[in-house]
Structure 1
Amino acid sequence: MAAAVLIFLLCLTAGALTVRCEDPYLYYTWNVTYGTLSPLGIPQQVILINGQFPGPTINSTTNNNVVVNVFNNLDEPFLLTWNGIQHRKNSWQDGVLGTMCPIAPGTNYTYRFQVKDQIGTYMYYPTTGLHRAAGGFGGLNVHSRIVIPVPYAQPEDDFYVLINDWYGKSHSELRKMLDSGRTLARPQGVLINGKSGKPDGKGEPLFTLKSGKTYKFRICNVGLRTSLNFRIQGHTMKLVEMEGSHVVQNVYQSLDVHIGQCFAVLVTADQTPKDYYMVASSRFLKGSPLISTAIIRYADGQGVPASPELPKAPVGWAWSLNQFRTLRWNLTASAARPNPQGSYHYGEINITRTFKFANSASKVDGKLRYAINGVSHTNPATPPKFAEYYGIPEKVFKYDVMGVEAAAKISKVSIETNVLNVTFHDFVEIIFENRENTMQSWHLDGYSFFAVAIEPGTWTPEKRKNYNLQDGVSRHTIQVFPKSWAAILLTFDNAGMWNIRSEMRERAYLGQELYVSVYSPRRSLKEEYNLPDNAPLCGVVANLPKPEPYNA
């Protein structure tokens, strides 16, 4: 932090001399390996990064350049995505199979991206196969610059809490299940920072607190398919930020954290000095909830154990829907820049185009597939973005194989590469319509969107009168409850090819995802970067000469 401040002051001074300074660089070298751990008490294979499970936390500051050299020491191709990082003009670093060739076993790839004009709580995780079921995930902080005030006092410390469902089988076994046409079904447990704890008073504390001090807890659900409720015994949580946006600071007893979502809360150590449990428990699963605990300890608690009586989780998804309705953008707080983050009046912009996406589950040739509007995505050997950049998309995929108005009934599912062509700078409305009896969670790479509504039933144009057009939170992931719909608004102003996917890995692996090609015909570096020189090539472009680079 001190080095970054020094660089900032030097650049500020040099400004009068017209000397240009780059934003600071952060360098990481990560070795991805297999290891053996016992998250549920039984030894099993996990994925480690530099020997850690979960992986290391990236601590960056707005506008930092992040350089991560990833060495793949697994026996399979591997990719990481930086969930929620917008990668302005740079879908090449997104870490998904539509825009990158995977890192082959025994090789390395260096990701380079800038956390441009962002703050907040994010995460990273694998996108290849079912690797996420084995680990390889971690936290990614983007702190505010010291010259930009945040709407709360500096906390005593900052903790990451990664919560997730967990299976006792290896990622390769789980993948075989999906490939054979079966579902993953119910997970076997829940983890908090890689461990499954029981309220037995045993174990070392995960965090130690000083009485009277306030701490920031960054809570992210990095799981495969299960929404989780998080709470802290005897304490309330003041929500201050979620997925890159400061929010109205409501106080909660517990929070439902859906797959792919992150919350930052302030917790004050204002209770009797002793141990307390953090609790993560499954939501919307049939049968008894899965529960895990971890200990927080007051430094002056003299080892007094936590009470075995755990706070109860809410029941039903109506409670979770009401929680969504309490989430509001803080319109007076600065974000990554000095101007208030609510100064962008998204509710006053005319909608250019509406997309309606309906998820479905069905059998194709006797095997389970998930689809969007009747199209189940499959990844070709050549990333569609590469084919587009090389000017040969017709050799790899067809644009717009999927209709953007969900049919009243999806009776037939086709397996195809699903890429939509969208117009650069269009302001669009996307409706996620969930016709199933299961929870859904959707994520959009490369963008933040405005989450303006979630309601039961079927969407119609008349529902727009219920949209929150004033202070809907700018975020990148949204849940959709059973037999319900969700609406988001955004401007497609980030050139590249970007993934829209189910955050439930089973569903994305079996086809519930698509790509949007946000193409700028100017082919200018002002709007999109060139293919990186170090990018591995694959498929039909592997032996082709690189196209002429974009001009400045």
Structure 2
Amino acid sequence: MPLNLAVAASICSLFCSLFAIVSAEDPYRFFNWNVTYGDIYPLGVRQRGILINWQFPGPDIHSVTNDNLIINVFNSLDEPFLLSWNGIQNRRNSFEDGVYGTTCPIPPGKNFTYILQVKDQIGSFYYFPSLAFHKAAGGFGGIRILSRPRIPVPFPDPAGDYTVLIGDWYKSNHTDLRAHLDKGKKLPLPDGILINGRGSGAAFNVEQGKTYRLRISNVGLQNSLNFRIQNHKMKLVEVEGTHTLQTTYSSLDVHVGQSYSVLVTADQPARDYYIVVSSRFTSTVLTTTGILHYSNSAGPVSGPIPGGPTVQIDWSLNQARSIRSNLTASGPRPNPQGSYHYGLINTTKTIRLSSSAGQVNGKQRYAINSVSFIPADTPLKLADYFKIGGVFRIGSISDNPTGGGIYQDTAVMGADYRAFIEIVFQNDEDIIQSYHLNGYQFWVVGMDGGQWTSASRNQYNLRDAVARVTVQVYPKSWSAIYIALDNVGMWNLRSESWARQYLGQQFYLRVYTASTSLRDEYPIPKNARLCGKFNVALLIYARSVYKWNLKLTPARGLILFY
């Protein structure tokens, strides 16, 4: 371990448990990560990838419900860096969310310690780099949150538990892709698909007669993917933190940003079988294969690669509707206003969101309700907390489509703490969309083709809809979700198509309360980095009010020291 990383780790070990505002009785898990560039060859050509502890993909995070995760990240890149946590809700503390609207970037040669708690969560998720199109270079890895001991899980312990990261990939370095977008151009089609960082040959070992859990996450940049295993069925058991009805599928659509857990039993004759991942809703179908390898295999893979669906929207829509919550399973789940019966709670507001694409000043941009997001010079949560003016304006994005042309702004929508709201995603474009809301799990109550109207509520599932963190919206279609706004903070709502997110298809939802109680929101962490418009006056204020020792780092903002 490099000396500076070792020093940072010792500082973290000494101080994190003293200053993190978390429940003292919950366990701590410590991680020390060094983020570097390195040569990778996922599609057979040399690329400059982003490695974590010299791994591509990065190491898995294994945890248990309510664990405190202390993740010390040292940035050895030549540019600022941030990690975000796709699915970890981090209750009452959006400062650690790891997107630029909430967290100052880690400067080159510096470190930052994320203090997270997987409070009341289970399930399969992933982490990824959120800045500067770094996601196209790697830096992602799996997150698994197991149930606490003695909490029953609705299936026997599997013989093995595998992380399966799938995603589309380009042969070009992320810097070239970013420059392409910065010039106002659209990205071409990806060059291939990866399984756990490999364009082909990823292998998963099984023993005949045993059952295994596969945690499948689509960590790609834009394409929905279909996952299947030759001659094997998959039993769906969990979706992004929700135990599901245990429906069996021969193949499964995994839309960009989404995660699924399936059980696969090695019940076929002992040989090797194809694992196949292919693109969906694309004119050119990209396909890659891995191997399910039986320990007593009598031979290599054989026969044709099993085909899957390609452009069939109705097939995918019907599959999505078949995914339901397991209401008899124990474990954490959303709990608005003290009730699991989300369908019996009156919504207090409906927000309708519509995407669009177009040119602004001769460059390609993407928007939600006509607003194409542009980052501010200061993280929005930081500006909100310290009441720094001129950074953003609440209400800078409408809660209904405007029908107007695209314009640029730092889009922030206000919302009330403890409200129970409906969000309708209307997709009038010819491509599939995928949306994620940080800090929350929500119920997907309905989806269908055409235009949403108030009459569409008649077909909502108000009993056992799946609660998850990412929802797809099919072409010329709509999807509707219910959310209990029980997590105060500034939360990023974005397209999971990463070029569209990078060029403006995102905004921030400010869930606000006037309360200063720690029960509602934690104060800014004592190890938070400060940047942008955080000036000397605020430095003096923070020192006097919070009794912090702060150090000004020229051109790189401020960092707080204990």
TM-score by length of structure 2 reads 0.90
Q: Deviations over 1:427-478 (max 9, x none)?
A: 1000101111011000010010000111100111111111100000010100
Specify the SS of the correspondent of 1:325.
Answer: helix
Specify the SS of the correspondent of 1:523.
Answer: coil
Judge which range, 535-544 or 225-234, deviates more.
535-544
Question: What residue in structure 2 maps to residue 16 of structure 1?
Answer: none
Judge conservation of contact 2:242–2:468 (CA < 8 Å) in 1.
Answer: yes
Given the alignment of the two structures, is residue 224 of structure 1 paired with residue 221 of structure 2, yes or no?
yes
Judge conservation of contact 1:148–1:337 (CA < 8 Å) in 2.
Answer: no
RMSD: 1.6
Question: What residue in structure 1 maps to residue 307 of structure 2?
Answer: 312
Question: What residue in structure 1 maps to residue 375 of structure 2?
Answer: 379
Question: What residue in structure 1 maps to residue 65 of structure 2?
Answer: 62
Specify the SS of the correspondent of 2:30.
Answer: strand
Give, in whole Å, the separation in 2 of the partners of 1:210 and 1:251.
Answer: 21
Amino acid at match of 1:396: V
Give, in whole Å, the separation in 1 of the partners of 2:534 and 2:518.
Answer: 22
For residue 489 of structure 1, the aligned residue among 482, 497, 516 is 482
Judge conservation of contact 1:148–1:336 (CA < 8 Å) in 2.
Answer: no
Given the alignment of the two structures, is residue 421 of structure 1 paired with residue 414 of structure 2, yes or no?
yes
1:24-35 equivalences in 2 (<5 Å): 24-35=27-38
Judge conservation of contact 1:56–1:138 (CA < 8 Å) in 2.
Answer: yes
Q: Which runs of 5+ in 2 are unaligned?
A: 1-22, 548-562
Structure 1 residue 185 displacement after superposition = 2.1
1:340-419 equivalences in 2 (<5 Å): 344-392=340-388, 394-407=389-402, 409-410=403-404, 412-419=405-412
Q: Deviations over 1:193-250 (max 9, x none)?
A: 00011xxxxx5x6221111000000000000001000001110000000100000000
Give the length in aligned residue pairs. 518
Q: Which runs of 5+ in 1 are unaligned?
A: 1-19, 198-202
Amino acid at match of 2:317: L
Specify the SS of the correspondent of 1:387.
Answer: helix
Amino acid at match of 1:437: D
Question: What residue in structure 2 maps to residue 256 of structure 1?
Answer: 253
**Identical residues among aligned pairs (%):** 53
Question: What residue in structure 2 maps to residue 4 of structure 1?
Answer: none
Question: What residue in structure 1 maps to residue 446 of structure 2?
Answer: 453
Given the alignment of the two structures, is residue 170 of structure 1 paired with residue 190 of structure 2, yes or no?
no
Amino acid at match of 2:188: A
For residue 473 of structure 2, the aligned residue among 480, 484, 491 is 480
Given the alignment of the two structures, is residue 50 of structure 1 paired with residue 53 of structure 2, yes or no?
yes
**Would the alpha carbon gap of residues 177 and 337 (structure 1) be closer, same or farther in structure 2, given more than 3 Å must change?**
closer
Q: Deviations over 1:179-204 (max 9, x none)?
A: 1010112000000000011xxxxx5x
Amino acid at match of 1:221: N
**Would the alpha carbon gap of residues 337 and 480 (structure 1) be closer, same or farther in structure 2, given more than 3 Å must change?**
closer
For residue 526 of structure 2, the aligned residue among 530, 533, 537 is 533
Give, in whole Å, the separation in 1 of the partners of 2:303 and 2:385.
Answer: 58
Judge which range, 133-142 or 314-323, deviates more.
314-323
Q: Deviations over 1:382-403 (max 9, x none)?
A: 01111110012x3211110121
Give, in whole Å, the separation in 2 of the partners of 1:530 and 1:158.
Answer: 37
Given the alignment of the two structures, is residue 106 of structure 1 paired with residue 109 of structure 2, yes or no?
yes
Give, in whole Å, the separation in 2 of the partners of 1:27 and 1:191.
Answer: 29
Q: Deviations over 1:262-310 (max 9, x none)?
A: 00000000000011111111111122x11111112111114x0111411
Give, in whole Å, the separation in 2 of the partners of 1:54 and 1:129.
Answer: 18
Judge conservation of contact 2:326–2:464 (CA < 8 Å) in 1.
Answer: yes
Amino acid at match of 1:266: L
Give, in whole Å, the separation in 2 of the partners of 1:350 and 1:549.
Answer: 40
Give, in whole Å, the separation in 1 of the partners of 2:472 and 2:400.
Answer: 20
Give, in whole Å, the separation in 2 of the partners of 1:501 and 1:523.
Answer: 28
Give, in whole Å, the separation in 2 of the partners of 1:255 and 1:479.
Answer: 14
Amino acid at match of 1:504: S
Structure 1 residue 337 displacement after superposition = 8.0
TM-score by length of structure 1 reads 0.92
Specify the SS of the correspondent of 1:539.
Answer: coil
Amino acid at match of 1:41: G
Specify the SS of the correspondent of 1:541.
Answer: coil
Judge conservation of contact 2:241–2:333 (CA < 8 Å) in 1.
Answer: no
Question: What residue in structure 1 maps to residue 517 of structure 2?
Answer: 524
Judge conservation of contact 2:398–2:413 (CA < 8 Å) in 1.
Answer: no
